[in-house]
Amino acid sequence: MVAILQAVLSGLALGGVYALVALGFNITHSTTKTFNFGQGEFLVAGAFVAVSGLLLLAGKGITDPLNPDDVTLLRYAGSMVISMVVLGLLGVLLYYTAVRPFVGQAGLAWVMSTIGFGIIIQNVALAVWGPSAVVMPSPLGNDVIRVFGAGILPQEIMVLVASIAVMLCIDVVMRKTKIGKAVRAVAQSMDAATLMGINVSAIVVLAFVVSSSLAGLAGLLIAPITTASVYMGLTLALKAFSAAIVGGLNNPRGCMLGGFLLGLLEALVGLWHAELREISIFMLIILVLALKPEGLLGQRQVEKV
Amino acid sequence: MKGRAHLVGVIAVAAAIALVPFVTSNAFYLKVLFLIGVNYLAASGLNVLVGHTGQKSLGHAGLFAVGAYTVALLTARAGWNPWLAFVAAGVMAAAFGVLIALPALRVKGPALAMVTIGFGIVVEKIVSEWQDVFAGQQGIYGVVPLAIGGVRFGPREWVWFTGALALAAHLMIRALLKGKYGRAFMAVNTAEVAAESVGISVYRFKVLAFVISAVTCGLAGALIAQQNQYISSEFITFGLSIFFLLIVLFGGSSVYGPLLGAIVLTLMDAFLARWPHIQHFTYGALLLFALYVMPEGLSGAIRSAARRLFPSLTRLPPLPAVAGEWRLSSAGEAPPAERLLLEARDLYKAYGGVVPINKVDLEIRTGHIHSLIGPNGAGKTTLLNMLSGIVPADRGSIRFGGKDIGRLAPNEISRLGVGRTFQNLKLFNAMSVLDNVKVGLHTRIDAGLWTCLWGLPASARQERKAGDEALRILAFLDLSEHALERADSLPYGLQRRLELARALATHPRLLLLDEPAAGLNPHETGDLIEVISRIRDLGVTVLLIEHHMDLVMAISDHVIVLDYGEKIAEGSPANVQTNPRVIAAYLGQEDDEDAEAGGDADRGALPAVDAGGGHRG
């Protein structure tokens, strides 16, 4: 029982990270019908920029080893801002070099170009930070908190709280504010949105900025749990995309739900047979595609003939 | 002429493969040659999937692994004969190709690319984590290489064997893509619904493309495992999937694309292997920038450069003269007129709260021209889509020629003799006008997969026959002079007519036309009236949706009026014109203030979700 509770809690924390990245996929996909296939590398970049941010704030060089007492809550918050801003800028660069030239071109050229962009980011990260994993201490320490007997790391609670808070924010912004309305209008029809005086290109760039910053945030949140490694991106992004498929790529709340579901599934299956984690996720995807291809909360897209 | 150039090329390449291993004995050079062959083999099949069928796969390292581990386990663990194991690798890979194709039938585009990445990653995880069977990173040693007469292949033999295999793959894939299979792959790539409408099963062709690519990738894996006599999970990476795809994209989708891609990228890979960082960085840069510079790949860039330098290359070959008027295959046994051809009972379809088709009965009789009219949003296109199998009915039955077709796929309905055109044109844009019509003849070309794969004379004969018939169809519709132009280069009115030609090519008994006159000028509309009557005279029954009332009244024998998904009237044109319910539907009731005048009035306030016809459709 305790083991299950523990798995549920850490599964939810992991799910929060998936949900953030999945939400990022949703935001650019709904506005431009594209998304960043190199999102995993962006997540890696987010984690390493955060590490360097922490070092800078502690007055050290950006590739020095990181000690637990370098990491305070304030510096962690500061490095979060740095990481999200840097990744946001990277999102702008991605959009102008790898997405905009290819949008609407046949053969999904943007898939290749965003993968290419991701590979370049990964190799830059390799050149700067090297191939070995970096341990990022949690600002809240490593003392296990007991909840009904189950041990949970303070970082996991923070991941859960932070991801839910960010998602609530985005949900409210999308539904209640003028800019959210503009984003949804662009998602429905770019042409109509332009005619209504919405600056569509600005909204699209904004979508990539938000999506990339979310990846940055996810990297920063997950690094203290899994350590930061240049090679962790692909699987994380793939799981986040699976979450988006499961929940419904065109529904932001579906993406969040999918993230948490996947996190739970992975943690619970891992409890039983660790090597079956990835396979179970893939099976779930096949199942969802067979039964409800538009995702749990997604809307069926009717192709016009 | 083109055929002769190809033959010379093939002989030259074969001679090079045979002789080069005598020129050098340097193991490194021979290994690079071997790798070019392996990469070409993998890419040539992947090109069918990616370049021709348009299914992006980023998980082919998984299929490579299937081939490699099949050979490794069968020879090193089960003691199989290496040749048998090599063949088994291809078979296993084909089976996994079917498996990876299944999601492809449910998701499209980027989501499919992601799912295939998932497949690759799962295979990677299995071979690296399931240590008992696959030995993870340590790998399986003692994989038995191919041998002839007990003598194991050395570096030279590997180059010869791989070269021969690659050459065979090239010849077979080239033969396959030249004929009906190549056209069907392209049709699935450009317009799936239209492919179904001419009897091509999108499902079967997607699976076939996946299987072809799986076999070549699996054999490539087997070659690598047997040549190295070793395989480990280190080989199976996402990077490998990317590398295969990069060869195809960089090379371009022409049959020679994968060859160019394999040569350039294998050489680059071998050259940069000393600096792994730069190597990967280069792949990233290539993925990002090669598409800017050469959207059609290297082969496309070379082709357009050659056309600029030697304009004579673009000259089109003359068309063969074809005598005789085109006839339906069933022309001799003209169907008795006035027979019930299609009967729909109680059809019902709802999208949420919107009911585009509500309990509609329909009878289509042979030899007639039936028209389906009604205001925008009345459900006309939905009804047509239900008859052709694109939209399944929630309730009700459809019988065609006495056979229940309510649950059949569109391609099966097409094969039974229902052709159709589309309101929003769905031509195979990148193909020539002639080829569009040949796609329509797909089910009439009696050549199987094996005949085409081996390029047997029967396939060439069938191909010539289809070409002749396509030209006769084009002549029937006055399109002959455009036969070799690209479909999307035609003016709009001719594109509509080409759709008609493609639908006719399926030899339909019933032809469904969705607003054939939309966007035509009065002169073209007049021509269309004449064309439709000629089609009727061939013995084809016609059901058309139209807003041009002059056209409807001029040629229809029978008019059916839909409004809000219900049939409100039917009968002869004159009858329908005076029917008070029809007048009310088109002009509005007297108390309607926003009633518009004119026969072609569009209603302003219809449900926002328009599942049916109309200009928005």
For B402, other C-beta atoms within 10 Å of its C-beta total 8
Tally of residues, chain B = 617
A37 within a domain of the structure (yes/no): yes
Residues 6+ apart with CB under 8 A from B605: B594
The H helix count followed by the E strand count for chain B is 24, 14
Per-residue pLDDT, B88: 97
Residue B260 has which token pair? Answer: 């160019």
Helix (H, G, I), strand (E, B) or coil at B371: strand
Of A101, A241, A304, the CB nearest to B617: A304
A264 within a domain of the structure (yes/no): no
Helix (H) or strand (E) holding B558: strand B558-563
Nearest to A82 by CA among A120, A56, A111: A56
Nearest to B445 by CA among B420, B464, B471: B464
pLDDT band at B605 (very low <50, low <70, confident <90, very high): very low
Helix (H, G, I), strand (E, B) or coil at A192: helix
Of A34, A102, A116, the CB nearest to B286: A116
Q: Categorise residue B377: left if φ over 0, alpha if ψ from -120 to 50, beta otherwise.
A: left
Q: Which residue has the tokens 């090679």?
A: A231
**Cα-trace Rg, chain A:** 19
* Mean pLDDT computed over A162-191: 92
Per-residue pLDDT, A304: 63
Residue B123 has which token pair? Answer: 């295979």
Structural domains of chain A, count: 1
Tell me the backbone φ, ψ of residue B129, rounded to 5 degrees: -105, -25
Interface contact flag, B122 A97, Cβ < 8 Å: no
pLDDT band at A149 (very low <50, low <70, confident <90, very high): confident
Nearest to A17 by CA among A211, A261, A241, A219: A219
Distances (CA, A) of B605 to A142, B136, B608: 64, 65, 8
Contact B91, B80 (CB under 8 A): no
Side-chain half-sphere CA neighbours of B324 within 13 A: 8
Please give the full DSSP string across A146-178, using - where no structure is assigned. EETTEEE-HHHHHHHHHHHHHHHHHHHHHHHSH
Interface contact flag, B125 A122, Cβ < 8 Å: no
Residues 6+ apart with CB under 8 A from B312: none
Looking at the predicted structure, is the pLDDT value of residue B615 above 60? no
Contacts of A112 in chain B (CB under 8 A): 245, 249, 287-288, 291
Helix (H, G, I), strand (E, B) or coil at B116: helix
Give CA A32 to chain center in angstroms: 18
A187 within a domain of the structure (yes/no): yes
Contacts of B104 in chain A (CB under 8 A): none
The burial of B407, by beta-carbon neighbours within 10 Å (0-12 exposed, 13-18 middle, 19 or more buried), is given as exposed
Interface contact flag, B422 A305, Cβ < 8 Å: yes
- Residue A151 bridge partners (DSSP): A146
Interface contact flag, B118 A242, Cβ < 8 Å: yes
Interface contact flag, A119 B281, Cβ < 8 Å: yes
Residue B62 has which token pair? Answer: 């998984």
A275 within a domain of the structure (yes/no): no
Q: Categorise residue B319: left if φ over 0, alpha if ψ from -120 to 50, beta otherwise.
A: beta
Interface contact flag, B277 A119, Cβ < 8 Å: no
Domain that holds residue A31: 19-232
Per-residue pLDDT, B600: 42
Distances (CA, A) of A57 to A49, B301, B447: 12, 51, 72
Helix (H) or strand (E) holding B463: helix B457-476
Give CA A162 to chain center in angstroms: 13
CA distance A116 to chain B (A): 4
Helix (H, G, I), strand (E, B) or coil at A137: coil
Residues 6+ apart with CB under 8 A from B220: B38, B39, B41, B42, B64, B67
Q: Categorise residue B424: left if φ over 0, alpha if ψ from -120 to 50, beta otherwise.
A: beta
pLDDT band at B422 (very low <50, low <70, confident <90, very high): very high
Contacts of A245 in chain B (CB under 8 A): 107, 111, 114-115
Per-residue pLDDT, A289: 78
Cα–Cα dist A153/A142, whole Å: 6
Nearest to A251 by CA among A175, A162, A164: A175
Contact B433, B490 (CB under 8 A): yes
Contacts of B286 in chain A (CB under 8 A): 116
Interface contact flag, A102 B129, Cβ < 8 Å: no
On average, the pLDDT of chain B sits at 88
Angle at A25 between CA A21 and CA A26, to 5 degrees: 115
Mind listing the pLDDT tens digit for each residue in B218-235? 999 999 999 999 999 999
Contact B151, B83 (CB under 8 A): no
Per-residue pLDDT, A33: 87
A5 within a domain of the structure (yes/no): no
Of A105, A111, A302, the CB nearest to B56: A111
Looking at the predicted structure, is the pLDDT value of residue B607 above 50? no
Mind listing the pLDDT tens digit for each residue in B149-195? 889 999 999 999 999 999 999 999 999 999 999 999 999 999 999 99
Quick one: what percent of chain A has pLDDT higher than 90? 55
Quick one: what percent of chain B has pLDDT higher than 70? 93
A101 within a domain of the structure (yes/no): yes
Of B111, B122, B281, the CB nearest to A278: B122
Per-residue pLDDT, B511: 96
Q: Which of the pair, B25 or B10, is modelled with greater confidence? A: B10
- For chain B, list the domains and their CATH numbers: 2-238 (no CATH), 336-417+508-517+543-617 (3.40.50.300), 427-492 (no CATH)
Interface contact flag, B287 A241, Cβ < 8 Å: no
Contacts of B109 in chain A (CB under 8 A): 108
Side-chain half-sphere CA neighbours of A50 within 13 A: 37
Type of residue at B398? I
Q: Nearest residue of B to residue A248 by CA position?
A: B111
Contact A17, A278 (CB under 8 A): no
A258 within a domain of the structure (yes/no): no
Contacts of B110 in chain A (CB under 8 A): 29, 34-35, 37, 108, 111
Cα–Cα dist B297/A193, whole Å: 35
Q: Categorise residue A304: left if φ over 0, alpha if ψ from -120 to 50, beta otherwise.
A: beta
Helices of type H across chain A: 2-32, 39-57, 73-94, 109-129, 154-176, 178-188, 190-195, 200-226, 233-247, 252-272, 277-291
Contact B566, B377 (CB under 8 A): no
* Mean pLDDT computed over B445-457: 87
Per-residue pLDDT, A140: 86
Looking at the predicted structure, is the pLDDT value of residue A181 above 70? yes
Nearest to B445 by CA among B181, B171, B175: B181
- Residue B513 bridge partners (DSSP): B544
A276 within a domain of the structure (yes/no): no
Contact B34, B159 (CB under 8 A): yes
Residues 6+ apart with CB under 8 A from B351: A302, B609, B611
Nearest to A285 by CA among A236, A246, A241: A246
CA distance B175 to chain A (A): 24
Interface contact flag, B118 A282, Cβ < 8 Å: yes
Cα–Cα dist A166/A16, whole Å: 10
Distances (CA, A) of B269 to A273, B39, B272: 38, 11, 5
Distances (CA, A) of B567 to A123, B160, B532: 65, 70, 24
* Mean pLDDT computed over B527-556: 92
* Mean pLDDT computed over B354-369: 91
Nearest to A44 by CA among A271, A165, A220, A270: A220
Interface contact flag, B284 A285, Cβ < 8 Å: no
Cα–Cα dist B560/B598, whole Å: 19
Mind listing the pLDDT tens digit for each residue in A65-124? 888 888 888 999 999 999 999 999 999 999 999 999 888 776 678 888 999 999 999 999
pLDDT band at B609 (very low <50, low <70, confident <90, very high): very low
Cα–Cα dist A54/A48, whole Å: 10
Contact B490, B515 (CB under 8 A): no
Residue B45 has which token pair? Answer: 């099949």
Interface contact flag, A119 B119, Cβ < 8 Å: no
Cα–Cα dist B55/B107, whole Å: 10
Is the torsion defined by CA of B445, B451, B455, B458 positive or negative?
negative
Contacts of A113 in chain B (CB under 8 A): 287-288, 291
Of B110, B291, B351, the CB nearest to A102: B291
Helix (H) or strand (E) holding B248: helix B238-251
Interface contact flag, B102 A304, Cβ < 8 Å: no
Please give the full DSSP string across A76-118, using - where no structure is assigned. HHHHHHHHHHHHHHHHHHHIIIIIGGGTT-GGGHHHHHHHHHH
Residue B22 has which token pair? Answer: 């005598």
Distances (CA, A) of B133 to A280, B17, B218, B226, B233: 19, 37, 19, 18, 12
Contact B520, B528 (CB under 8 A): yes
Cα–Cα dist B173/B212, whole Å: 9
Helix (H, G, I), strand (E, B) or coil at B392: coil
Per-residue pLDDT, B604: 38
Q: Which of the pair, B130 or B606, is modelled with greater confidence? A: B130
Contacts of A286 in chain B (CB under 8 A): 102-103
